[in-house]
Amino acid sequence: MKPRSVASLLAAFAVTLCPSFAQEDATGKADPDSPYDHIKVLARAMQLIRKDYVDERKVSYRALMSAALRGMLQSLDPHSQYMEPENFNNMKEVTDSRFGGLGIHVTERNGDLIVVSPMEDSPAFKAGVMPGDQIVKIDGKSAEKMDLNEASEKLRGAVGTRVTLTILRPATKEIKEFELIREAIKVWSVKDAKILPADPGAPESKIGYVRITQFNAPTSEELAKKLDELEKQGMQALVIDLRFNPGGLIQTAVDTAGMFLPPGTIVCTTEGRAGSQKGEYKANPGLRRRQAYPVAVLINFGSASGSELAAGALKDTNRAIIVGETSFGKGSVQSVVPMPDGSAIRLTTAKYYTPSHNVIHEVGITPTIRATMTPEQERQLMLSRREDLTEEQKKKELAGFRDTQLDRAVDALKGVLVFQSRKPQ
């Protein structure tokens, strides 16, 4: 039996997958965007490259097909990707909030690799990598044309191994180089739960504070325990700090917002081209509802994905005052579709919307009260969260530092408490 050409195999594959293509051809109707015709062009191009390209080592059909798929997915948006079998297997590994690496959440914007946020207590965080930093080199290799998959592979590695990052800091135009050692990272997502100290001479008000660094599997349970403790201390109002929170598990973010909303309240919706992508996330009736104390949520440009869903829901339902800066704007849904050869396609299939049907993707959540920080204040805020610094080091580095965004949130909550105390009962 004579071997069939790649072109004929791909064409037959297209007809097998989508027999309607062949039916349309049979009726004589021209389809200018026919997959059948375009697959023939792709197959012909692959044949020519394999036959005549100067470097024979680069032209296996698998290599050419992988390159074509990578190009297709990259042309759509920064979050759609083709994953080789090894990449797909790495993604499927169960980490239970523990993994090896540098602790950097990276995205792609206008072809650049941008740090969304370093994870607290990670090698990147301790070294001083900042949200908004642009990665220009990894181990001396230019990151100019790297996609997220390639960058992730280069950042990932065995615990104890080294990697050198060269970054451009847009705020100051500085080029910095960091030599980092990969670590096994344990993510504690709920931190610094406390009653904030009252200003001297001011009327006493017990305003609680809790910081969520990202949304992982244990976050809802951790947060519930911390809130129980604060409520036992007589907490009258609460600040939830989502600054530099890059997101995580969407259902956990929904459950976090749902703690403060009536059961069944819509937290967010999804919409895509396919009807199957239309969905609603609602406050879980099984969760314990919190008391109706005033809530303020802190966000900034490093608040992304799940933190934007939570903040958007609490804002749209008038359950919280949002304080800070417009958030990052990452509100799209990626579906991972396994391929027959063990690889997978990660494809953006829908977008998230707030309860008022405001789109999040590439827009972000706008604060109710806008409060900005200078680059130096942001650097000091990150330093204030460093657990590896001594009190002497913090005293030196944080001299004169005030968290102005937190101050604005506290002032807003105090105003709400005063207003509530004057309302007729």
Residues 302, 116 contacting (CB under 8 angstroms): yes
Same domain? For 316 and 409 the reply is yes
The residues that are catalytic are: 305, 316, 330
**Residues of the chain below pLDDT 50:** 1-3, 7, 11, 13-23, 25, 94-97
Q: Does some domain include residue 72?
A: no
Go through 323-334 and write b for each residue having 16 or more CB atoms within 10 A of its CB, e for each that does not.
Answer: bbbbbbbbbbbe
Same domain? For 220 and 179 the reply is no
Amino acid code (one letter) for 376: E
Same domain? For 200 and 299 the reply is yes
Q: Does some domain include residue 90?
A: no
Q: Does some domain include residue 84?
A: no
Q: Which residues contact 120 (CB under 8 A, 6 or more apart)?
A: 188, 191, 213, 385, 387
Same domain? For 255 and 111 the reply is no
Range(s) of the domain holding residue 22 = 6-26+35-59
pLDDT of residue 19: 46
Final residue belonging to a domain, choices 152, 169, 186: 186
pLDDT of residue 95: 38
Residue 225: count other Cβ atoms within 10 Å of its Cβ: 11
Tens of pLDDT along 95-149? 344 556 888 888 888 778 999 888 888 899 889 898 889 999 999 999 887 877 7
Q: Which residues contact 183 (CB under 8 A, 6 or more apart)?
A: 100, 101, 102, 103, 122, 123, 159
Give the separation between CA 141 and CA 98, rounded to whole angstroms: 28
pLDDT of residue 84: 87
pLDDT of residue 35: 79
Task: For residue 175, give the CATH number of its domain.
Answer: 2.30.42.10
Closest CA to 43 of 16, 25, 26, 64: 64
Strand segments (E) across 272-312: 279-282, 295-299
Residues 181, 161 contacting (CB under 8 angstroms): yes
pLDDT of residue 16: 47
* Structural domains counted in the chain: 3
Same domain? For 276 and 240 the reply is yes
Final residue belonging to a domain, choices 130, 155, 186: 186
Amino acid code (one letter) for 54: V
Task: For residue 223, give the CATH number of its domain.
Answer: 3.90.226.10
Same domain? For 46 and 155 the reply is no
Closest CA to 301 of 240, 244, 376: 244
Q: Does some domain include residue 86?
A: no
Structure-token pair, residue 86: 């090894």
Structure-token pair, residue 322: 């949002």
Q: Does some domain include residue 69?
A: no
Final residue belonging to a domain, choices 139, 171, 186: 186
Structure-token pair, residue 203: 């009327």
pLDDT of residue 91: 65
| pTM for this prediction | 0.77
pLDDT of residue 14: 47
pLDDT of residue 230: 96
Same domain? For 174 and 231 the reply is no
Same domain? For 114 and 238 the reply is no
Same domain? For 168 and 211 the reply is no
Q: Does some domain include residue 227?
A: yes
Same domain? For 247 and 351 the reply is yes
Residues 351, 332 contacting (CB under 8 angstroms): yes
